[in-house]
Amino acid sequence: MISKGTAVLLGIILFPIFSFAQFRKYSNEFLNIGAGARGLAMGSAQVATVKDGTAGYWNPAGLVGVKDHPEVNLQHAEYFAGIGKYDFGSVAIPLQDSSRVIALSILRFAVDDIPNTLFLVQPDGSIDYGNITSFSSADYAALFSYAQTVVKTYDKLVSFGVNAKVIHRQVGHFASAWGFGIDAGIQIHGPRWHLALVARDLTTTFNAWTFKFTEKEKQVLYLTQNDIPVRSTELTSPRLVFGGGYNLKISKSLSLLAEANLDFTFDGKRNTVISSNPISVDPHMGLEASIKDVFFIRAGITNFQKALSDGDTLNQKKVWIY
């Protein structure tokens, strides 16, 4: 049976999810890339079993697994042949009684050296390549996390965690945005089983954009029939992630951990396994083999999508890719 305190925590997480209308899809997508080698290798199936410093990203409730000493995590990855660069870093610090943990996680995704061709074509129609400049587009996020053990018995551990996140996005000198949001999560562990629920962007995360163009840039945009934005607000709708995992002890030195996650989005129809309006569901599955808790072999399946078959010239047959 779930205790009264656990039921209250579930209610706090679930209630705001169904209180919002439709929102724009794929907002702040850099926050969905992942964090840590374990999470990426296991197909982003992490919310139920994560218990290290990357839990501030996956499920803040898992930070209670950081015991005795502070933990530091660093990651660098590149995408699209080095065009996009992704960095993640976190510091988790257990407090004196070891049942509470605070953490700070920093994320950055950037694309550098983007050509600015606003002034490539001269008023007389000639092309001047010397007028091409470059700029960068960078997204930043800081997650301030707190986690606490709620219930601890000989056969059950319940923990709760929350994130307050600050987002900053910069597109050259043209545009910048600041945003704020809240995540919350809960983990329940038994002797071999693990359950979790995470609510991301719990109260709706917003980005307030401002735009700065010179008069010369505005003139070019006007003459090329482009809109000249002044300010806008971008909303990210809540997302629920359910997770379950199971530990199988094969021998004294070998164990197997399996985890599955279901991502529920509420912003309309997406290209996912279960795709409907307004709810779509995207599954993730991961497997980890542990040898003496020192060596690990991991595998995962994620990003299920339907795509047109290469051999179908009529563009009618679709296949699953992942």
- Distance separating alpha carbons of residues 44 and 37, to the nearest angstrom: 10
Question: Backbone dihedral region of 136: left (phi > 0), alpha (psi from -120 to 50 degrees) or beta?
Answer: beta
Residue with more model confidence, 233 or 141: 141
Return the pLDDT at 312. Answer: 60
Residues ≥6 apart with Cβ < 8 Å to 112: 85, 134, 136
Helix (H, G, I), strand (E, B) or coil at 289: strand
Report whether 93 contacts 105 (CB < 8 A).
Answer: no
Asked if the model's pLDDT at residue 314 lies above 70, the reply is no
Return the pLDDT at 221. Answer: 87
Average pLDDT over residues 210-214: 89
The 10s digit of each residue's pLDDT in 293-313 is: 889 999 999 887 777 666 665
Asked if the model's pLDDT at residue 190 lies above 70, the reply is yes
- pLDDT band, very low/low/confident/very high, at 20 (cuts 50, 70, 90): very low
Residues ≥6 apart with Cβ < 8 Å to 117: 132
Beta-strand relationship, 193-200 and 205-211: unpaired
Helix (H, G, I), strand (E, B) or coil at 39: helix
Average pLDDT over residues 282-286: 93
Asked if the model's pLDDT at residue 21 lies above 50, the reply is no
Amino acid residing at 175: A
Q: Compute the residue count for the chain.
A: 322
Asked if the model's pLDDT at residue 257 lies above 80, the reply is yes
Average pLDDT over residues 205-223: 88
- Distance separating alpha carbons of residues 44 and 54, to the nearest angstrom: 12
Query: φ and ψ at 25, to 5 degrees?
Result: -75, 160
Helix (H, G, I), strand (E, B) or coil at 245: strand
Asked if the model's pLDDT at residue 90 lies above 70, the reply is yes
Residue 37 per-residue DSSP state: H
- pLDDT band, very low/low/confident/very high, at 123 (cuts 50, 70, 90): confident
Of 98, 92, 247, 238, which Cα lies nearest the Cα of 159? Answer: 98
- Distance separating alpha carbons of residues 194 and 254, to the nearest angstrom: 19
Asked if the model's pLDDT at residue 226 lies above 70, the reply is yes
Query: φ and ψ at 155, to 5 degrees?
Result: -125, 10
Amino acid residing at 268: G
The 10s digit of each residue's pLDDT in 135-166 is: 999 999 999 999 999 988 888 999 999 999 99
Q: What is the mean pLDDT of the chain?
A: 86
Average pLDDT over residues 211-240: 87
Report whether 289 contacts 249 (CB < 8 A).
Answer: no
Return the pLDDT at 103. Answer: 96
Residue 145 host element (H or E): strand 133-152
- pLDDT band, very low/low/confident/very high, at 322 (cuts 50, 70, 90): low
Cis status, amide bond into 278, omega within 30 of 0: yes
Beta bridge mates, 134: 115
Of 193, 203, 257, which Cα lies nearest the Cα of 38? Answer: 257
Return the pLDDT at 22. Answer: 40
The 10s digit of each residue's pLDDT in 57-71 is: 999 999 999 988 999
Beta bridge mates, 301: 285
Structural domain boundaries in the chain: 4-321
Longest dimension (CA), the chain: 80
